């Protein structure tokens, strides 16, 4: 059974999907079941470079990935930063070389997730 906001990855082609509606079926890509990416958090190893850090700004919030800057190299980078505020989702996609941060017009009462192409899904 899939649940809203879960993230799945195809281990063959690399496709990533986020579930928009609860369902009873299995997600399949390239003929194989997709892998559910569980959210790592503040108790996991590597947290200093992966856990989103929220700072209040004049316009809303700024999200930096990690208390220590995350690498943004071709083979290791943050692919996206996402906030969920009362069911409204907003996501910023990043590329190698970008700053691993994003600004959103939102309150500090949000859930933030970030996806590292090497170390997976992280949550504040």
Reported confidence tier of residue 108, pLDDT bands at 50, 70, 90? confident
pLDDT tens by residue, 63-73 = 999 999 899 99
- Is 119 found in the same domain as 74? yes
Strand duo 7-9 + 35-37: pairing: antiparallel
Structure letter (DSSP) for residue 38: P
Over its C-alpha atoms, the chain yields an Rg (Å, rounded) of 15
User: Under a CB-based contact definition with an 8 Å cutoff, are residues 104 and 83 in contact?
Assistant: yes
- Is 26 found in the same domain as 68? no
Cα 6–8–13 angle (5° rounding)?
Answer: 160
Supply the range of the domain harboring residue 68.
47-123
pLDDT tens by residue, 2-40 = 999 999 999 999 999 999 999 999 999 999 999 999 998
Separation of first and last alpha carbons in the chain: 25
Kindly report the CATH number assigned to the domain that includes residue 62: 2.60.40.730
**1 within a domain of the structure (yes/no):** no
pTM (predicted TM-score): 0.91
């Amino acid at each position: 059974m899939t649940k809203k906001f879960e993230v799945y990855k195809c281990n063959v082609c690399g496709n990533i999907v986020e579930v928009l509606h609860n369902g009873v079926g299995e997600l399949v890509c390239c003929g194989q079941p997709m892998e559910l990416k569980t959210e790592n958090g503040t108790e996991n190893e590597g947290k200093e470079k992966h856990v989103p850090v929220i700072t209040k700004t004049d316009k809303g919030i700024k999200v930096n990935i990690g208390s220590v800057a995350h690498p943004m190299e071709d083979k290791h980078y943050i692919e996206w930063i996402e906030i969920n505020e009362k069911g409204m989702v907003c996501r910023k996609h990043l590329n190698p070389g970008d700053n691993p941060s994003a600004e959103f017009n939102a309150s500090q009462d949000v859930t933030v997730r970030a996806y590292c192409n090497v170390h997976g899904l992280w949550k504040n």
